[in-house]
Amino acid sequence: MNFEGLLFGPVPSRRLGFSLGVNNIPRKICSYSCVYCQIGRTINFSIKRQEFYSTDDILDALTRKIEEVRTGGGRIDYVTFVPDGEPTLDVNLGKHIEAIKSTGMKVAVISNASLIDNEDVASDLMDADWVSLKVDAIDDVKWKIIDRPHGSLNHSIILDGIRKFSEKYHGILATETMLVDGIQDLGEIHIIAEYLSSLRKLDLAYISVPTRPPAEEYVKPPSDELINAAFQVFNNHLGNTKVSLLTGYEGSEFFTGESLEDEILNILAVHPMREDALLEVIERSGESAEFVDHMVKYGKISKVPYMGKFFYILPPKIERIKPNS
């Protein structure tokens, strides 16, 4: 069998350390056709689970890759199902997870949650160590605008399925909310946060913005002010759940922390900092407030207001990818 494209990485990930990706779904077979998808529009809409690769195929490829990485002095923290389509469309997903865990590897699955109400899907995901589920909207109209779901899917059933899954799952549960300019407003963000707060278990809530060329040209990141406000709203609603931004800063994951600027970019890649907190960091490092002004001037960070305070945030860096690269 040709294993090209079946595995990729390991790549550094703020979420998962060094992640070895499993591309268990052929390109763009999906239950959604999200307007922001960096892979493009969905070619084959489907909600039917089927076999794409056998567990033996995946395990064989994985065994070779593990040996290659270890020989090269690398490491793998998670084996992550993050394919070019929806991973839970793979009817063998549960078997894949079980086989990979038998090698001693931790397993993560990043899903759009569209099939989470299916008992077999939920059962398969129960064995994963880390699961991420998409919650881009609660309002049904906004859900259809941003995620463009398969016509047979029911949003209320999906949201209820996520809630039920959170009641039984014992691994690390994350959600991811992609914010797109002109679609979700602050009112919708409050509603999303209220819904997430109703989940019995939620370890991580990620807020993302489009940072690579999307399926639709009109898709853009929201304003820095809205991104910052969304972070504050999530924090206010979600209590002990860790809230993080995924704004796509290219390169911050590789910084060693040897410079003050690198440290600031590392922090802001995950969450905004209030002005007084950042200035305290600057002062402890022996620099003046001009250091921050310089970073703002050259577009490395942005200063935005929220609830009578000023925050610094990492502005989205749009990565321009050449066609077919």
Say if 170 falls within a structural domain: yes
Number of independent structural domains in the chain = 1
- What three-state secondary structure class fits 74? coil
Say if 288 falls within a structural domain: no
Q: Which of 197, 177, 191, 195 is nearest to 239 (CA)?
A: 197
Say if 279 falls within a structural domain: no
Say if 112 falls within a structural domain: yes
Cα–Cα distance measured from residue 215 to residue 18, given in angstroms and rounded to the nearest whole number: 27
Say if 266 falls within a structural domain: no
- Structure tokens, 71: 């020989």
Say if 271 falls within a structural domain: no
Q: What is the CATH number of the domain that holds 148?
A: 3.20.20.70
Do 113 and 158 meet the contact criterion of CB atoms below 8 Å apart? yes
Beta-carbon contacts of 90 under 8 Å, excluding residues fewer than 6 positions away, are 24, 25, 49, 50, 51, 52, 53, 81, 96
Residue 47 CB neighbours (<10 A): 18
Tens digit of pLDDT at every position of the chain (325 positions) = 444 568 887 877 777 888 888 989 887 799 999 999 877 889 899 999 999 999 999 999 899 888 888 888 888 999 999 888 899 999 999 999 999 999 999 999 999 999 999 999 999 999 999 999 999 999 999 999 999 999 999 999 999 999 999 999 999 999 999 999 999 999 999 999 999 999 999 999 999 998 777 889 899 899 999 999 999 999 999 999 999 988 754 333 333 334 788 768 766 765 678 888 888 888 888 888 889 999 998 888 888 875 677 888 777 654 433 333 2
Say if 31 falls within a structural domain: yes
**Residue ranges making up the domain that contains 55:** 7-246
Say if 216 falls within a structural domain: yes
pTM: 0.80
Query: Radius of gyration over alpha carbons of the chain, in Å?
Result: 20
